[in-house]
Amino acid sequence: KQEVTQIPAALSVPEGENLVLNCSFTDSAIYNLQWFRQDPGKGLTSLLLIQSSQREQTSGRLNASLDKSSGRSTLYIAASQPGDSATYLCAVRRNTGNQFYFGTGTSLTVIP
């Protein structure tokens, strides 16, 4: 079974700061890893997807890295804005089976 952990559970930063969110997983035999954001009362929005053969993906101010051997991924957010406030979740897809395994998320608050 795949266990996915996200630390910290909550994070509060002033606007403009760069920040890093962490995701760790126990089984390195993964097919891909996705980062999502979830706004209150909403579903999840996909931010970045990293295939197991990739080391990082970038989209705008977001950069996600993947170190499969150590079971870790990070989501780097540059120049944070109040609109970045949301819960960020990571999910991994193992090489076998159909489901994605989700962490419990990091709740981010960016203070204006």
Partner 1 sequence: GAGVSQSPSNKVTEKGKDVELRCDPISGHTALYWYRQSLGQGLEFLIYFQGNSAPDKSGLPSDRFSAERTGGSVSTLTIQRTQQEDSAVYLCASSLVPGGGAFSYNSPLHFGNGTRLTVT
Minimal distance in Å, beta carbon 35 to partner 1?
Answer: 10
Task: Figure out which of the listed residues 1, 14, 40, 41 binds partner 1, where binding follows CB under 8 A.
Answer: 41
Asked whether position 71 contacts partner 1 by CB under 8 A, the answer is: no
Are residues 3 and 26 in contact, defined by beta-carbon separation less than 8 angstroms? yes
Give the Cα separation of 42 and 94 in Å (integer). 26
Decide if residue 19 touches partner 1 (CB under 8 A). Answer: no
| Short-list 48, 52, 60, CA closest to 30 | 52
Cβ-based neighbours of 53, under 8 Å, separated by 6 or more: none
Nearer to partner 1 by C-beta: 21 or 89?
89
Which member of 11, 31, 74, 107 binds partner 1 (CB under 8 A)? Answer: 31
Identify residues 90-109 at the interface with partner 1 (CB under 8 A): 91, 93, 95, 97-105
Q: Which of 46, 37, 41, 17 is nearest to 85 (CA)?
A: 37
List of residues contacting partner 1 (CB under 8 A): 4, 31-32, 34, 36, 41-46, 49, 51, 89, 91, 93, 95, 97-105
